[in-house]
Structure 1
Amino acid sequence: MEILNKILEKIKEYNTIIIHGHKRPDGDCYGAQFGLKSVIKTSFPEKQVYVVGETSEYVRFVGEMDVISDDTYEGALSIVVDTAIKDRISDSRYTLGKEIIKIDHHIPVDQYGDYIWVDTNFPSCAQMIAYFLRTFNDELSVSREGAVAMYTGIITDTSRFRFRGVSRLTHELAGMLLDFGADVVEIDQHLSKESLEVFKFKGHMLATVKFDDGFVYNVIKREDIEKFGVSDEDAAGTVNLMGGIEGYDVWFLAIEYPTEIRIRLRSSKPEIDKLANMYRGGGHKMASGATLLSFDELPKFLEDLRKFLKENK
């Protein structure tokens, strides 16, 4: 692909490269960021490569964010991964870079960047970085830590190879990362660990699930999060506990934040990204996010979801 050649050309051209991800980063965001950093540093040790943005306790084992000054961006290349919407980019200083590259696997929303590689056929952005590595395997390599990062990104965004979009290529690239030193048991131990607080919160969440016409959902308020002592990230991570119930193809969490209600919307059959687009969101066909201004909008969202499911049986 021409765009892959251009990205490699730009990586070779710049001495300083700064890699951004999205706000409230997940495993795939971390995997793509730290995986790409490792590919560049392993292949071109003389380059200065930084990963910046918000942190995630869940996948902090993958790597630690760098703290850099504004001056670092002078004459630098900014690369933004796993982010379809400009407003969701963590650390707005990416615009200070001399040029910007966008690498993403979400349905396009904002076409920012001087060079854009977007491919929705990839189930994770970390897989895109692994594919980039394999495409230029005569010039590029990666460390064990980078392989761990990318493997973590792939399995978290595919729910351990369970989601639609997983292909032979996904498994081939995962196998390549194992060859580079990614340890499946070690990664699983990190991802499977949870606190007693999270364990108890999961019990509460399952005990209060609400069943509707073809979908299930739950509402998580600030008082719930405070009562159980969990983080917003912990609460959001429980969404797939509601998946797989026979007769209910769609499920979501509505989580109260200080200024808005965030919807984590999932599906096993109908493509729900268009519904998410109606509520200030988007994402993948089977996994999207949306935003309500307040709980006052929830009844309308439920009504639109019922209508959507009737029209998409």
Structure 2
Amino acid sequence: MNVLKEIYKKIKKHNKIIIYGHKRPDGDCYGAQFGLKNMIQNAFPNKEVYVTGETSEYVSFVGTPDIIVPNDLSEDFYKDALSIVVDTATAERVSNQNYKLGLEVIKIDHHIPIDQYGDLRWVDTNFPSCAQMMAYFSTKIKKFKITKPGAVAMYTGILTDTGRFKYRGVTELTHNMAGLLLTKGADVEEIDKHLSSESLEVIKFKGYVYGNFITTDKGFVYLKITEDIRNQYNLSYEEASSVVNMLGGIEGFPVWAIFIEDKGEIRVRLRSNGPDIDKVANQFRGGGHAKASGATLYSWDELDSFINAVHEVL
């Protein structure tokens, strides 16, 4: 509770606030960023409040960053602002590294802490999404009011990061916060329509997923998505990564992953309904949650080492 009051005091103190997120933003990143922006603007209409980061086609209905990276803004623009970084466990993953230039840096996150960056930190792994943290924040600070744009953002963040309320970590509080957001204007049908819409190419690609996954005798199932495959199906990174849970729930295979070739590196989305896998991700320039983590391989040559690391926890 005290840390929430401290964060509120910092927000109240600064006239310019810039809200940062992580590279390749997902629904929870946008949900937390735009949800927090909505609450601050409603409480302090005269403050300058900006969301900065990369664009996301998947959750573009939530909003578009005010400051898209990369951009030509001078460093001076950032120096007189309060930096708030959300949903980002490590400093390296912050999409706009100018957060470091801010007068003060606040970190709000729900991932297992790796980097202790920031002057003030609210990190709580008991929350299944950072967007839920923002909704909870609003219940503890009376001046923070949520209107429809913020409700849509935060509900989307909660929905996507909990796998539509399926993952471990979903609690009574999660449903209470989701219910609160419904009363503030979040429309379940409208949000589901945005999230469920898929291109014909993605539907065809799902057939490829089921026909080309690879299994190991230790209980690991995975899929390699090369640049050639992405080009064949005309897939964005977001579309390719959206299929990860298609490999979940296969009897006898408690850990699964997809490996996506992207801009010269291999992005890994790793999931488990059995052993904790965050320590595997930590070995390969990543991290996250006990059952859902991400990592990066510098080339396909590291794939065998990654598989062996997974086998160590199985």
Q: TM-score, normalised by structure 1?
A: 0.96
**Structure 1: gaps (5+ residues):** none
User: Structure 2 CA distance, aligned partners of 1:178 and 1:219?
Assistant: 39
Q: Could you tell me which amino acid in structure 2 is paired with residue 74 of structure 1?
A: K
Deviation at 1:301, TM superposition (A): 1.6
Matched, 1:129 2:134: yes
Q: Show the counterpart of 1:243.
A: 248
Deviation at 1:248, TM superposition (A): 1.3
User: Structure 1 CA distance, aligned partners of 2:77 and 2:261?
Assistant: 36
Deviation at 1:208, TM superposition (A): 0.5
Residues 206-221 of structure 1 correspond to what in structure 2 (within 5 A)? 206-212=210-216, 213-221=218-226
User: Structure 1 CA distance, aligned partners of 2:225 and 2:177?
Assistant: 37
Matched, 1:278 2:283: yes
Deviation at 1:255, TM superposition (A): 1.2
User: Structure 1 CA distance, aligned partners of 2:16 and 2:188?
Assistant: 32
Deviation at 1:279, TM superposition (A): 1.5
Matched, 1:118 2:123: yes
Deviation at 1:11, TM superposition (A): 0.7
Q: Show the counterpart of 1:196.
A: 200
**Structure 2: gaps (5+ residues):** none
SS of the aligned residue for 1:162 comes to: coil
Q: Show the counterpart of 1:183.
A: 187
Q: Show the counterpart of 2:110.
A: 105
Residues 149-168 of structure 1 correspond to what in structure 2 (within 5 A)? 149-168=153-172
Identity of aligned residues (%): 59
CA contact 2:277–2:310 (8 Å) conserved in 1: no
SS of the aligned residue for 1:307 comes to: helix
User: Structure 2 CA distance, aligned partners of 1:158 and 1:293?
Assistant: 29
| CA deviations over 1:55-92 (Å, ceiling 9, x no partner) | 10000000011138334323211100000111100111
Q: Show the counterpart of 1:93.
A: 98
Aligned residues: 308
User: Structure 2 CA distance, aligned partners of 1:283 and 1:178?
Assistant: 28
Matched, 1:169 2:169: no
Q: Could you tell me which amino acid in structure 2 is paired with residue 254 of structure 1?
A: F
| CA deviations over 1:256-290 (Å, ceiling 9, x no partner) | 12322121100012110011111121110000011
Q: Show the counterpart of 1:42.
A: 42
Aligned-CA RMSD value? 1.1
CA contact 1:21–1:89 (8 Å) conserved in 2: yes
Q: Show the counterpart of 1:229.
A: 234
Q: Could you tell me which amino acid in structure 2 is paired with residue 37 of structure 1?
A: K
Deviation at 1:104, TM superposition (A): 0.3
User: Structure 2 CA distance, aligned partners of 1:225 and 1:301?
Assistant: 22
Q: Could you tell me which amino acid in structure 2 is paired with residue 241 of structure 1?
A: M
User: Structure 2 CA distance, aligned partners of 1:193 and 1:269?
Assistant: 30
SS of the aligned residue for 1:152 comes to: helix
Q: Could you tell me which amino acid in structure 1 is paired with residue 161 of structure 2?
A: D
SS of the aligned residue for 1:24 comes to: coil
User: Structure 1 CA distance, aligned partners of 2:35 and 2:207?
Assistant: 35
Deviation at 1:159, TM superposition (A): 0.5
User: Structure 1 CA distance, aligned partners of 2:174 and 2:204?
Assistant: 34
CA contact 1:43–1:142 (8 Å) conserved in 2: no
User: Structure 1 CA distance, aligned partners of 2:304 and 2:48?
Assistant: 50
Q: Could you tell me which amino acid in structure 1 is paired with residue 189 of structure 2?
A: V
User: Structure 2 CA distance, aligned partners of 1:26 and 1:151?
Assistant: 13
CA contact 2:111–2:123 (8 Å) conserved in 1: yes
Q: TM-score, normalised by structure 2?
A: 0.96
Q: Show the counterpart of 2:264.
A: 259
User: Structure 1 CA distance, aligned partners of 2:312 and 2:52?
Assistant: 41
| CA deviations over 1:107-147 (Å, ceiling 9, x no partner) | 111111111000000000000000100111x2210110100
